Amino acid sequence: MCKQSGLEFLGIAFLGIGLWAWNEKGVLSNISSITDLGGFDPVWLFLVVGGVMFILGFAGCIGALRENTFLLKFFSVFLGIIFFLELTAGVLAFVFKDWIKDQLYFFINNNIRAYRDDIDLQNLIDFTQEYWQCCGAFGADDWNLNIYFNCTDSNASRERCGVPFSCCTKDPAEDVINTQCGYDARQKPEVDQQIVIYTKGCVPQFEKWLQDNLTIVAGIFIGIALLQIFGICLAQNLVSDIEAVRASW
């Protein structure tokens, strides 16, 4: 069995997880609800990545097994387009750093507004804030954008002027997560806030993490790029061999 079949099966697994998640949320029974979420639905990651992996795996595997030059050419072109898009994104991210930062700020704040609308999005935000020890896009006050956490007098929520538990500093002695640790956190003076919650935003924390791990991140991207180039060359060589054999008939 060709190596691409592993990629194909992995793609099917990702697609299956994505569709299962949508089924659990009732999206499959009401397709129009896909557009109802104000923020980003993490399920899209599984569906898009799974779809791309399945297409590449199917085209590469069937093309090699059946000596189908059309599928092999499609495999190399599709992989080449992905490589070009990755290269373009990398260059643009380097050249337009400030624009990327603004878009990231807008993206995070847009998802802060939709924090309670989708459990998958909520878990993604909580994981991000816990992992990078941050709160909001540029600070805890960004949670004023959420109707449950804003500090307006009209907000009757118990979470008013607070933050999610993922913003709270962790006590190593605590075995159970206190999901109410962020209540009223932003009503305290800034000096006291720093004791109970993370006050740095996720955008600057991500920048810091990227600078600290630049070598590793660059190594991963170079490794992926080399694998893609190798796949393109392998497919093109196989196409050339098949066409040469057919020409000798």
Residue 112: closest CA among 76, 161, 68, 145: 145
Q: What is the pLDDT of residue 184?
A: 92
Domains and CATH numbers, the chain: 67-248 (1.10.1450.10)
Query: CA 211, 215, 217: angle at the middle one, nearest 5?
Result: 80
Q: How many Å apart are CA 213 and CA 219, to the nearest integer? A: 10
Q: What is the pLDDT of residue 90?
A: 85
Residue 132: closest CA among 60, 204, 82, 191: 204
Residue 35 pLDDT greater than 90, yes or no: no
Looking up tokens 């092999």 gives 72
Residue 167 pLDDT greater than 90, yes or no: yes
Buried b (16+ CB within 10 A) or exposed e, 68-100: bbebbebbbebbbeebeeeeeeeeeeeeeeeee
Q: With cut-offs at 50, 70 and 90, classify the pLDDT of residue 1.
A: very low
Q: How many Å apart are CA 179 and CA 47, to the nearest integer? A: 31
CB of 23 within 8 A of CB of 68? no
Least confident piece of the model among 23-27, 149-153, 232-236: 23-27
CB of 115 within 8 A of CB of 122? yes
Residue 38 pLDDT greater than 70, yes or no: no
Please state, rounded to an integer, the average pLDDT across all residues of the chain. 88
Q: How many Å apart are CA 116 and CA 143, to the nearest integer? A: 12
Q: The pTM is what?
A: 0.81
